[in-house]
Structure 1
Amino acid sequence: MRPVLGAVLLAGVLAYLAIAGVIWRHAAAALARPPQQPADAALILGNRAYLRGKPNPCLTGRVDAGIALAGAGRVKQLVLSGGVDKEDGRIEAEVMESHARAQGYGGPLLLEPASTSTRLNLSMSTPVLKAAGVRSVIVVSEPYHLWRVERLVRASGFDKDFDVQYAAASTSCWRRFGMVFKGALREPLAVVNNAFNGYLH
């Protein structure tokens, strides 16, 4: 029994490491390939709203990346997607909106304030985008998140409704070893969970 259990655990660890390797290679490639074409909107995906009593830099850094796209003329507006943070009760989209305005962004903003997962970010943002006449989107998230995002985009048919590009937000969370390590631990589990639920095709 023990040898079998050991073999199963080893296989699980190897699979986990293989997934992590794919995610991190893709993250490096995404950072090296910023969006090349202008788009109607940047869709900024939510994250935990607050961390240690302050707006989470993993979230605000994504907003900063969207603002940079707007400042460079790459997008015409920002769409902020994220619902109630179960850890502190704040609405992620509203925290992002406050940060964008505090940073001096004066352009148009649309909010999707109800989604609670990446899959729901996409599905619940779709009617918001369509109502605004958006046809092309740059999806903004942290580098380690984008491999899963791309597969959810295809699985959900989001890319049939919009011309989609991706922007890797090099946030302070990404650059700090501790948060990189946290992302490395969490993201492969999220990939496996999505696959078991049939969301990754």
Structure 2
Amino acid sequence: MKRPRWLRRPWQVALAGALLAVALAYAAIGAFIWSQAEELLAHPPQRPADAALVLGSRAYLDGKPHPCLAGRVDTALAMAHAGVVRQLVFSGGVDSEDGRTEAMAMQEHAVAAGFAGPMLLEPASTSTRLNLSLSRPLLLAAGVRSVVIVSEPYHLWRVERLVKMSGFDQSFDVQYAAAPTSCWRALGPFSKGALREPAAIINNAGHGYLF
């Protein structure tokens, strides 16, 4: 009696099972991110803060400010106009995808939108962890004691974990603002950044940054 075809090549069965397990884990993390994102969107910051810290992402797309990054800045601008924050801090270094400095691109967008208030730039960070660690001394030197961290909805769960693990929240009173950018409104959890976020979470967790 011949064995079934799938039993003749057990390594293929094992490989398929492993790939399925990875896919299911990835989907589970994505679903969790989505639920946390919706919660943050429903609960914007309530307390006034000294500054909004806007975290960077890709600066330009097709020769124009990337709508995902511009949407983050627009959320910070709305808070400034509403009196929730009094100054803006832009954190992001040179983007390898377009060669532009994210912090400078955000400042340019804010100025073009008519913002004339105080702004600080942190132009060297190349990761979310560095956004926080390099911005901390800049914020402290400016006398900032309370911060609203602004990023896209899918990003903020990992940001919150990094804030706690790094002790950033021991230096500042921290709130979070989920930016409903056009990228998020159009694609939600299927936007490029959201699809990559589970991998970033797995990577950061593997290095002990989140837990």
* SS of match in other structure, 1:176: helix
Inter-partner Cα distance in structure 1 for 2:187 and 2:173: 34
- The corresponding residue for 1:5 is 15
Inter-partner Cα distance in structure 2 for 1:199 and 1:168: 22
Give 1:145 shift: 0.7
* SS of match in other structure, 1:148: helix
* SS of match in other structure, 2:148: strand
Aligned counterpart for 1:28 among listed residues 35, 38, 56: 38
Aligned counterpart for 2:182 among listed residues 172, 176, 182: 172
* SS of match in other structure, 2:191: helix
Matched-pair identity in %: 67
Verify: 1:68 aligned to 2:99, yes or no: no
Inter-partner Cα distance in structure 2 for 1:167 and 1:183: 17
Aligned counterpart for 1:161 among listed residues 160, 167, 171: 171
Aligned counterpart for 1:150 among listed residues 156, 160, 179: 160
| Count of residue pairs the alignment pairs up | 201
Verify: 1:91 aligned to 2:89, yes or no: no
Gaps of 5+ in 2: 1-10
* SS of match in other structure, 2:97: coil
Give 1:178 shift: 8.0
Whether the 8 Å CA contact 2:154–2:194 is kept in 1: the answer is: yes
- The one-letter amino acid of 1:158's match is F
Give 1:183 shift: 2.8
Give 1:9 shift: 1.5
- The corresponding residue for 1:42 is 52
Inter-partner Cα distance in structure 2 for 1:199 and 1:175: 29
Whether the 8 Å CA contact 1:139–1:167 is kept in 2: the answer is: yes
- The one-letter amino acid of 1:30's match is L
Give 1:182 shift: 1.8
Alignment RMSD, CA only?
Answer: 1.2
Q: Deviations along 1:115-168, whole A, 9 cap, x unmatched?
A: 011110000000000000111100000001111111111111111111100000
Aligned counterpart for 1:55 among listed residues 53, 65, 74: 65
* SS of match in other structure, 1:42: strand
Inter-partner Cα distance in structure 1 for 2:194 and 2:149: 20
- Give the structure with higher Rg (CA): 2
What is the TM-score of this pair, normalised by structure 2? Answer: 0.92
- The one-letter amino acid of 2:196's match is R
Q: How does 1:186-197 map to 2 (within 5 A)?
A: 186-197=196-207
After superposition, the Cα gap between the structure-2 partners of 1:11 and 1:54, relative to the gap in structure 1 and judged at 3 Å, is same
Runs of 4+ in 1 over 6 A off after TM superposition: none
Inter-partner Cα distance in structure 2 for 1:184 and 1:88: 20
